[in-house]
Amino acid sequence: MSEICETRPPLPLGLARRGYTGTIQHLAAGGTTSSLPDVELESRLIELGFVEGARVEILHEGIVGRDPIAVRVDNITVAVRRREAMAVIVA
């Protein structure tokens, strides 16, 4: 699976669809429209386990605009809005 990930172009988790699986490459809090300051957003993401190398899978999507998303991050499930998930770069 890791080979597949490395050949794919990186994309923000906020754009991925249900069923997507990948690995976190890095966090880029700067480019999001989240209301949180960059440092705060990045800290919160790390505290919920979004760190480089963690395996992610999008398990569920909300009904309005496919938002929010339920993401499996290693062995826990986290709900985030796509707006904040834009800070997580996966491949």
Partner 1 sequence: MESPLLHLALVGTPNSGKTSLFNALTGSRQKVANYPGVTVERKEGAFVTPQGRQVSLVDLPGTYSLRGRSPDEEITRDFVLGRATGEVLPDLVLCVADSTNLRLTIRLLLELKSTGRPLALVLNMFDIAKRRGVTVDVAALSQALGVPVVTSIAVRKGGTDDLLQLTDQLLSQADAAAGDRANTWRPLTVPELRATQREADRIIAATVSLPERPDTWTARIDAVALHPVGGLFILLAILFVMFQAVFAWAQPLMQLLSAAFDALGGLVHDQLPEGLLQSFLQNGVISGVGSVIVFLPQIIIIFLFILLLEDFGYMARAAFLMDRIMGGAGLHGRAFIPLLSSFACAIPGIMATRVIDNRRDRLTTILIAPLMTCSARIPVYTLIISAFIPPTKVWGLVNLQGLVMFGLYAAGIVSALLVSFLVKFFLMRDYQPAPFMLELPDYKMPRLRGIAIGVYTRAKMFLQRAGTTIFAMMVLIWFLASFPQPPEGATEPAINYSLAAMIGQAIAPLLTPVGFNWQIAVALVPGMAAREVAVAALGTVYAIEGGKEAAEQIGQVLASKWSLATALALLAWYIFAPQCASTLAVIRRETGSWRWMAVTFVYMFALAYAAAFATYHIAVAMGAG
Question: Which residues would be at the binding site for partner 1 (CB under 8 A)?
Answer: 34-36, 39-49, 51-52, 59-65, 67-68, 70, 72, 74-81, 83-84
Nearer of residues 23 and 34 to partner 1, judged by Cβ:
34
Min CB(28)–partner 1 separation in Å: 12
Sequence-separated contacts (24+) of 41-44 with Cβ below 8 Å:
41/84, 41/87, 42/87
Q: Quickly tell me which residue has 């997507």 as its tokens.
A: 20
Nearer of residues 11 and 83 to partner 1, judged by Cβ:
83
**How many whole angstroms separate alpha carbon 6 and alpha carbon 11?**
12
